[in-house]
Homo-oligomer: A and B are copies of this chain.
Amino acid sequence: MLDVVTFGETMVLMSHEISGPLRYVNRFMKQIGGAESNFAIGIVRLGHKAGWISKLGNDEFGKYIVSFIRGEGVDTSRVKFDSEAPTGVYFKERREWGESKVYYYRKGSAASRLTPMDLDFEYIGSAKYLHITGITPALSESCYQTTKEAIKIAKSKGVKIILDPNIRLKLWTKERAREVILELASKADIILPGVGEGEILVGENEPERIAEKFLELGIGIVVVKLGKQGAYYATASENKYVTGFHVERVVDTIGAGDGFAAGFVAGLLKGYSLEKAVRLANAVGAIVTTVIGDVEGLPTMDEVLVFMGEKDGIDR
């Protein structure tokens, strides 16, 4: 009944309007962010069904997050509340030069207490795709076990597995990240690494070489994200560079990768060719960078088509 199911931590995101060093920012906006729910919201906005499994603190922020995500149309029926641990928070610092920085306040959060028992066998089994990221297993031992259990369930029910490495060096070391993500990758059907992640995981920094290595691991489809340049995809039988879209003003790059993943999977769900799906992914990722916030820029299908010039957007 679901097109995709995903699970992981979503935090309250404190962001700011005026770029600059966080120490001088005195006004913050409350938003939300989490790679998995970003992805799920993206999927729904592009016209498909997504379910998000998580644990939130039984507090104002937890209630805010579940309201937001449920409001977006993502199924939140498997989200649990934990009265013993808080909802995570993160601060995003946007400057006009250099990359955005994030400051996590998620240690010991409710989501880090997810366990294999929080997974619903039938629920996961009802989806076409299971989306997993390298963030969840980095949160705690129980989250790592939960990730492995979810993959096991998916495998047993014939649900395809998409792995977005999302390596966060604030959460674990490169060594541990490589070890665990390669373990997960060995079960994945699709992987969506960035170039930097390729270097950490397989020791290569050329898109073709990265893809080759993952194909060798037995993954069916590899899509290497190249930022503004677009992406490179490869399978056993085909491969191609797909040029990215230009946007006049990038205001916030965080969340673009999750948008890319949502665009790609939506493309697959629509039965697109790989090239066309990657093109959609590029467009979604580009649009996301034009709005402050992880999810606020995620486009509807109509909006992407207008952005890609495939639909007339005139509305005078």
Contact = CB atoms under 8 A, between A and B. Distances in A.
B316 A167 contact: yes
A218 interface: no
Contact of A96 (B64, B86, B247, B313): B247
A290 B249 CA distance: 15
Contact of A290 (B59, B97, B167): B97
Contacts of A247: 96-97
Interface stretch (A12-20, A143-151, A236-244): A12-20
A103 interface: yes
Contacts of A290: 19-20, 95-97
Interface stretch (A27-35, A206-214, A223-231, A263-271): A27-35
A105 B316 CA distance: 15
Interface of A: 14, 17-30, 59-61, 63-64, 66-73, 86, 89, 91, 93, 95-99, 101, 103-105, 107-108, 167-170, 196, 247-249, 251, 287, 290-293, 296-297, 306-307, 313-316
How many copies of this chain sit in the oligomeric assembly? 6
A136 to B, nearest CB: 16
Contacts of A30: 25-28
B291 A20 contact: yes
13 contacts: A19-B290, A26-B26, A27-B28, A59-B103, A69-B71, A70-B73, A86-B103, A89-B91, A97-B248, A98-B313, A99-B315, A168-B316, A169-B316
A248 B73 CA distance: 37
A18 B17 contact: yes
B105 A23 contact: no
A29 B19 CA distance: 14
A45 to B, nearest CB: 10
